[in-house]
């Protein structure tokens, strides 16, 4: 039999349902890996599970039946067993487990149950397996015995079909395993898994998930609970005095701090005012009574101050005035003043003088970030009765916080343990490192991110982990390592929840964790958790979260993966030894993994490094080999790690993966970079490494409204690129298969034409659809070792991708204009339609970079390179469309109708040739005033449209939309009826298309609909 039978993922995938499951999983994260330990770009396990099943299972429609091939009896037996098992599972699902079926699957199962004979058809089995995969991606079904056992059986039988005599379970390799979601789900669906990563933090997390929990889950769960009770008493004895109770019996839960600076007003030189850097005066807006801060004022409304002493950076003690605060319950927002800091410029509440940002930074820099002398301004308490509330700190609390510094200095005098300082004095990466902002403010060591009391708490819990492990006695050495690793991850989570970068969250009434996004920006004010209070951020909450993961992974008992530390460019595996590659590699400089994960590494080294010397023997995580574009930049570090380094090393890593994957094997590479250069580099690396791309599927694995996506044209989905080794049956690379450029070019539009409607059915549009087309488009190109013109000249991937963009644009326009020929529109209309479609996310209510409330936008931004390729695909050039597109640096903005008012109605607008740069559009969100100015300048165009109809259909439509929005019905009628604009059917076709493309939350959408609504009334 042909071992290259298609897999399900190469013919179909229920991406809409998988995306829905992935989004729901990201939002809840109950029992997810991040509950045990967070890791950058964590993959939703449901999406991994679905992709693995679809990649490992053959398409029933591509399998021969007896009499259709010359295969051996053994081959046909394997095929028959696979198909029979699939039929049996689907029948059992419909008869005995119908309660586990989603609504979509229920309809399918109901239909086939009435006609069991229909499952003899391969098409019905394929459809049933796709329904199974979609339902299995749902997190609530991931541990159901029916799904897990059925998936394992199908994986085992599918492997016999494909690999015949190579054991009963396929091997999946992930050389960039990170948080471990992919290999973990490979075990769940019945495969074997090999996971590796260069980063020691990732490797330890993988060891817990893939080596220790499958064997010792119950023991580790018991030990975690045991340590919690054992450590609580000891921690209270050692550090309880630094967290005193309050005089009224209430329990402090969180302490709110603000870094401070001295106002540099020249009038305050004698007794300067200490300004707390408060981003907001609000304390809580939801979840109970509203609470806020206000300045204590005298009868004359002057802000009152108290006298205090302060030690300067040079050791000098000075007298300062400290503005007094009080907590109150505001009746409305107007009762609450603004904070003292904006963009880290500090405004004194007493005099109103603003110390500029650079001077604030200089003061903080001189004091190592200002963490040690921050001001404790409020305490969040749990009273004996009632709900959580906010109070001013008591004197005992202020003294306790100050005394933590003395205790820390006392402990520092002790001899180092294992050659390490008691707390992390390892250096932060240099100033200017991607993702880091804290160095600018004087934080140069990892310990600078913590207050003295936070350091004291983390040192205590780290010590208690070591002491507990020593007290375990003669237990299994591997169990001891498993418990050590799990407790080390617990300390890591405590560090993440207890740093001076944990901002206070108004709506949840809790501090956010340090890495609520994967960067370390400065926090002028922050929340410090009381770890002895048992609330969020305490060992109790951390252990509770960890145990949900442990309990869930106990279902994988006995399924152990291989885990190793190493570079993806050198896998310790034989040639042709694994059956599938599934990996999510780094994306250029998207995340500085090694630098950020040093935050966790320095604590793991202290808590459990003794048990894992092979992982934590170095000062910090390895960086020289890390495949990221981190070189140069503001830090000037690692100049060799530039774009060329990333592309070369990624090609090496993907080539190494192809080496270990069998010739009939399959690969899936996840990519979600928003720049076209990033895509070209990844695709080039795949092709150079000897892979043929066969499909691509966008799955919504990202939080739609994550911080990184807001205000940008970031992809809503991660695109899963499916590929096969371009090898001969003996494993050698195909190197002499030359493609004909003319034939490749002729096949490309056919592939795009067949693929895009399929994506539209799943709700995949815009940028997601563009990049999802790369799979079928590149199969045509990448199946050859090279593609050449008749002259013998080789066609580069870059050239071919230009043709892909053109083909996608053409097909998209045909879909936008409902199959009509878009060639009747000028280039500005075609570009506008394609641009808005590219930004579309599939939801009529939400698009990237647009607000929730209806308003007129200045424009719609795209990465310049993507915009340029869209324009070129339409036969246009951005530089010739300066009245429609504004280019600033790496961003191109499609101007909205409101931003083009002056161009559309200015007296010389219609005289401006299309290629000439017109007057720069005024980027205003309120065009009403601009309309009035134009009327005053050029006359009342409510009666006489002096500029006349626009030169293009888009200009005419934008004019009509502005007139409607301005309430100028007479002028609108004149333009549409008397000037004949409305008698052109293309005008209305464009209006309908843009109405469907404009975000529903914008005024442009309302105006376009308003113009369409006037058509009938005007007799058009």
**Tens-digit pLDDT profile for residues 323-351:** 999 999 999 989 999 999 998 999 999 99
Q: For 645-663, what is the HEC assignment? A: HHHHHHHHHHHHHHHHEEE
Q: What is the mean pLDDT of residues 17-45?
A: 85
- Please report the sign of the dihedral spanned by the C-alpha atoms of residue 73, residue 78, residue 81, residue 82: negative
Look-up of token digits 């205790």: 407
Q: How far is Cα 164 from Cα 975, in angstroms, rounded to an integer?
A: 73
Q: How far is Cα 553 from Cα 33, in angstroms, rounded to an integer?
A: 10
Helix (H) or strand (E) holding 1019: none
Look-up of token digits 């058009």: 1020
Q: How far is Cα 153 from Cα 145, in angstroms, rounded to an integer?
A: 12
Contact criterion met (CB below 8 Å) for 259 and 341: no
- Distances in Å between the Cα of 354 and the Cα atoms of 293, 297, 523, 754 are 20, 20, 19, 62
The DSSP call for residue 340 is S
Alpha-helical (H) ranges within 846-1002 are: 864-873, 901-905, 928-938, 953-965, 969-973, 985-997
Residue 110 pLDDT: 92
Residue 705 pLDDT: 36
Q: How far is Cα 856 from Cα 296, in angstroms, rounded to an integer?
A: 41
Q: How far is Cα 404 from Cα 242, in angstroms, rounded to an integer?
A: 7
Helix (H) or strand (E) holding 886: strand 885-888
Residue 764 pLDDT: 79
Alpha-helical (H) ranges within 471-581 are: 477-496, 539-553
Residue 909 pLDDT: 41
The DSSP call for residue 139 is G
Q: How far is Cα 560 from Cα 260, in angstroms, rounded to an integer?
A: 52
Q: Regarding predicted confidence, which is higher, 30 or 124?
A: 124
Q: How far is Cα 253 from Cα 384, in angstroms, rounded to an integer?
A: 13
Look-up of token digits 């931003």: 899
HSE-CB for 870 with a 13 A CA cutoff: 31
Q: How far is Cα 924 from Cα 12, in angstroms, rounded to an integer?
A: 46
Long-range contacts from 267-270, C-beta under 8 angstroms, 24+ separation: 267/351, 267/353, 268/348, 268/351, 268/353
Residue 10 pLDDT: 94
Sequential DSSP letters for 777-814: HHHHHHTSSEEE-TTSPBPPHHHHHHHHHHHHHHHHHH
pLDDT reading at 52 higher than 50:
yes
Paired sense of beta strands 354-355 and 375-382, if any: unpaired
Q: How far is Cα 282 from Cα 387, in angstroms, rounded to an integer?
A: 18
Give Cβ neighbours of residue 701 (< 8 Å, ≥ 6 apart).
Answer: 19, 22, 26, 43, 44, 47, 670, 672, 717, 718
- Residue of 479, 646, 485 whose CA lies nearest to 568: 646
Give Cβ neighbours of residue 843 (< 8 Å, ≥ 6 apart).
Answer: none
Q: What is the mean pLDDT of residues 426-431?
A: 94
Q: What is the mean pLDDT of residues 695-722?
A: 61
Residue 869 pLDDT: 82
Helix (H) or strand (E) holding 461: helix 452-470
Bridge partners, residue 632, by sequence: 637
Look-up of token digits 């007139």: 963
Q: How far is Cα 941 from Cα 938, in angstroms, rounded to an integer?
A: 8
pLDDT reading at 820 higher than 60:
no
- Name the pLDDT band for 848 (thresholds 50, 70, 90): very low
Based on DSSP, count helices (H) and strands (E) in the chain, helices before strands: 30, 28
- Residue of 371, 370, 363, 318 whose CA lies nearest to 345: 363
Contact criterion met (CB below 8 Å) for 966 and 938: no
Q: What is the mean pLDDT of residues 530-551?
A: 93
Number of neighbours of residue 340 by Cβ within 10 angstroms: 27
Q: Regarding predicted confidence, which is higher, 1000 or 955?
A: 955
Q: How far is Cα 129 from Cα 56, in angstroms, rounded to an integer?
A: 12
Number of neighbours of residue 115 by Cβ within 10 angstroms: 9
- Name the pLDDT band for 913 (thresholds 50, 70, 90): very low
pLDDT reading at 851 higher than 50:
no
**Tens-digit pLDDT profile for residues 746-792:** 999 999 988 888 888 877 778 778 778 888 888 899 989 899 999 99
pLDDT reading at 367 higher than 50:
yes
CB-count burial class (<10 Å; 0-12, 13-18, 19+) for 1008? buried
Q: In what order do the strands lie in the sheet with 282-284?
A: 282-284, 291-295, 325-328
Residue 192 pLDDT: 96
- Residue of 713, 675, 698, 673 whose CA lies nearest to 848: 713
Contact criterion met (CB below 8 Å) for 672 and 719: yes
Q: How far is Cα 627 from Cα 927, in angstroms, rounded to an integer?
A: 49
Q: How far is Cα 992 from Cα 988, in angstroms, rounded to an integer?
A: 6
Residue 911 pLDDT: 36
Q: How far is Cα 421 from Cα 414, in angstroms, rounded to an integer?
A: 9
Q: What is the mean pLDDT of residues 470-497?
A: 94
- Of the listed ranges 134-143, 188-197, 871-880, 934-943, the least confidently predicted one is 934-943
Residue 446 pLDDT: 97
- Of the listed ranges 436-440, 556-560, 673-677, 911-915, the least confidently predicted one is 911-915
Residue 776 pLDDT: 86
- Distances in Å between the Cα of 177 and the Cα atoms of 27, 238, 821, 846 are 22, 39, 47, 32
Give Cβ neighbours of residue 410 (< 8 Å, ≥ 6 apart).
Answer: none
DSSP SS3 for 749: helix
Look-up of token digits 């010792």: 216
- Name the pLDDT band for 620 (thresholds 50, 70, 90): very high
CB-count burial class (<10 Å; 0-12, 13-18, 19+) for 764? buried
Give Cβ neighbours of residue 957 (< 8 Å, ≥ 6 apart).
Answer: 829, 987, 990, 991, 994, 1008, 1011
Q: List the structure tokens of 515.
A: 């890495």
Give Cβ neighbours of residue 517 (< 8 Å, ≥ 6 apart).
Answer: 706, 707, 708
% of the chain beyond a pLDDT of 90:
57
- Name the pLDDT band for 890 (thresholds 50, 70, 90): confident
Residue positions counted in the chain: 1020
Q: List the structure tokens of 341.
A: 């800091």
Residue 754 pLDDT: 87
pLDDT reading at 819 higher than 70:
no
- Distances in Å between the Cα of 187 and the Cα atoms of 132, 214, 459, 565, 994 are 18, 10, 36, 19, 47
**Mean pLDDT rounded to a whole number for the chain:** 86
**Tens-digit pLDDT profile for residues 558-575:** 789 999 999 999 999 999
- Distances in Å between the Cα of 112 and the Cα atoms of 107, 109, 120, 161 are 9, 5, 11, 25
Paired sense of beta strands 891-895 and 786-788, if any: unpaired
Bridge partners, residue 4, by sequence: none
Contact criterion met (CB below 8 Å) for 673 and 587: yes
């Amino acid at each position: 039999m042909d071992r290259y039978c298609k897999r399900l993922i190469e013919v179909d995938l229920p991406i809409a349902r998988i995306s829905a499951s992935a989004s729901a999983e990201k939002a809840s994260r109950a029992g997810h890996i991040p509950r045990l330990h967070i890791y950058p770009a964590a993959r939703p396990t449901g999406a991994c599970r679905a992709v693995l099943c679809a990649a490992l299972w053959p398409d029933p429609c591509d399998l021969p039946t007896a009499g259709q091939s010359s295969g051996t009896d053994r081959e046909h037996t394997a095929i028959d067993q696979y198909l029979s098992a699939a039929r049996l599972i689907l029948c059992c699902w419909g008869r005995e487990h119908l309660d586990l079926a989603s609504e979509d699957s229920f309809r399918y199962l109901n239909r086939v149950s009435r006609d069991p004979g229909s499952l003899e058809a391969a098409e019905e089995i394929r459809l049933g397996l796709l329904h199974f995969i979609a339902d299995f991606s749902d997190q609530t079904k991931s541990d159901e015995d029916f799904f897990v056992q059925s998936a394992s059986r199908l994986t085992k039988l599918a492997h016999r079909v494909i690999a015949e005599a190579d054991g009963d379970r396929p091997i999946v390799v992930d050389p960039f395993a990170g948080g471990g979601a992919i290999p973990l789900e490979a075990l769940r669906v019945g495969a074997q898994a090999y996971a590796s990563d260069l980063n020691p933090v990732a490797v330890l997390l993988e060891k817990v998930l893939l080596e220790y929990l499958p064997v010792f889950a119950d023991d580790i769960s018991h030990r975690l609970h045991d340590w919690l009770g054992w450590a609580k008493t000891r921690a209270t004895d050692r550090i309880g005095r630094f967290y005193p109770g309050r005089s009224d019996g209430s329990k402090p839960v969180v302490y709110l701090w603000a870094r401070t600076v001295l106002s540099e007003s020249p009038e305050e030189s004698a007794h300067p005012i200490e300004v707390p850097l408060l981003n907001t005066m609000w304390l809580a807006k939801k979840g109970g009574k509203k609470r806020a801060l206000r300045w204590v004022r005298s009868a004359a409304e002057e802000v009152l101050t108290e006298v205090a002493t302060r030690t300067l950076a040079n050791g000098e003690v000075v007298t300062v005035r400290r503005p007094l605060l009080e907590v109150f319950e505001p009746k409305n927002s107007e009762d609450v003043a603004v904070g003292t800091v904006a963009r880290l410029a500090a405004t004194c509440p007493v005099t109103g003088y603003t110390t500029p940002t650079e001077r604030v930074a200089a003061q903080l820099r001189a004091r190592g970030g200002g963490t040690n002398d921050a001001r404790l301004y409020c305490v969040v308490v749990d009273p004996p009765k009632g709900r959580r509330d906010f109070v001013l700190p008591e004197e005992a609390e202020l003294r306790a916080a100050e005394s933590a510094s003395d205790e820390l200095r006392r402990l520092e005098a002790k001899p180092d343990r294992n050659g390490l300082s008691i707390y992390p004095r390892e250096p932060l990466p240099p100033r200017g490192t991607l993702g880091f902002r804290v160095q600018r403010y004087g934080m140069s060591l990892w310990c600078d991110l913590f207050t003295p009391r936070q350091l004291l708490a983390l040192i205590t819990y780290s010590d208690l982990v070591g002491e507990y492990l020593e007290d375990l006695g003669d237990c299994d050495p591997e169990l001891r390592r498993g418990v050590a690793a799990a407790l080390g991850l617990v300390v890591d989570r405590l560090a993440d929840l207890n740093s001076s970068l944990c901002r206070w969250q108004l709506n949840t009434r809790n501090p956010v964790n340090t890495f609520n996004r994967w960067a370390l920006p400065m926090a002028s004010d922050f929340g410090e958790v009381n770890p002895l209070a048992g609330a969020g951020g305490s060992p109790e909450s951390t252990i509770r979260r960890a145990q949900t993961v442990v309990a869930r992974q106990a279902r994988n008992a006995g399924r152990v993966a291989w885990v190793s530390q190493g570079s993806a460019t050198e896998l310790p595996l034989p040639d042709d030894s694994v059956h599938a590659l599934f990996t999510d590699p780094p994306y250029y400089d998207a995340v500085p993994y090694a630098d950020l994960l040093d935050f966790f590494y320095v604590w793991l080294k202290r808590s459990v490094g003794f048990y894992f010397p092979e992982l934590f023997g170095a000062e910090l995580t390895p960086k020289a080999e890390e495949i990221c574009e981190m070189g140069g930049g503001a830090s000037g570090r690692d100049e060799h790690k530039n774009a060329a380094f990333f592309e070369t090393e990624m090609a090496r890593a993907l080539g190494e993966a192809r080496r270990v994957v069998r010739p009939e094997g399959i690969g899936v590479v996840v990519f979600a970079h928003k720049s076209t250069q990033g895509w070209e580099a990844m695709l080039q690396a795949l092709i150079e490494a000897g892979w043929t791309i066969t499909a691509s599927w966008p799955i919504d694995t990202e939080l739609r409204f994550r911080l990184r996506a807001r205000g940008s044209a970031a992809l809503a989905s991660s695109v899963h690129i499916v590929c096969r080794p371009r090898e001969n049956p003996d494993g050698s690379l195909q190197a002499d298969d030359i493609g004909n450029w003319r034939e490749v070019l002729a096949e490309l539009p056919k592939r795009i034409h067949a693929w895009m409607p399929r994506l539209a059915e799943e709700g995949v549009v815009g940028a997601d659809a563009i990049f999802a087309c790369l799979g079928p488009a590149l199969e045509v190109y990448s199946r050859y070792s090279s593609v050449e013109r008749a002259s013998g000249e080789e066609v580069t991937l870059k050239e071919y991708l230009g043709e892909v963009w053109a083909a996608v644009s053409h097909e998209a326009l045909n879909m936008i204009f409902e199959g009509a020929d878009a060639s009747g529109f000028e280039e500005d209309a075609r570009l506008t339609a394609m641009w808005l479609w590219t930004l579309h996310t599939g939801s009529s209510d939400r698009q990237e970079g647009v607000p929730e409330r209806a308003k007129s936008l200045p424009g719609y931004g795209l990465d310049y390179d993507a915009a340029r390729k869209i324009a070129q695909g339409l036969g246009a050039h951005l530089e010739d469309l300066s009245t429609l597109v504004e280019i600033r640096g790496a961003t191109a903005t499609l101007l909205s109708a409101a931003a083009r008012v002056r161009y559309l109605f200015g007296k010389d607008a219609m005289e401006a040739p299309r290629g000439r740069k017109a007057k720069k559009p005024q980027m205003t969100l309120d065009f009403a005033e601009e309309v009035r100015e134009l009327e005053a300048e050029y006359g009342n165009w409510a009666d006489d449209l002096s500029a006349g109809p626009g030169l293009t259909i888009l200009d005419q439509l934008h004019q009509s939309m502005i007139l409607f929005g301005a309430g100028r019905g007479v002028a609108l009628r004149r333009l549409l009826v008397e000037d004949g604009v409305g008698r052109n059917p293309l005008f209305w076709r464009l209006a309908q298309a843009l109405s469907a493309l404009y975000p529903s939350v914008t005024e442009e959408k309302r105006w376009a609909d308003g113009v369409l609504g006037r058509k009938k009334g005007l007799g058009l």
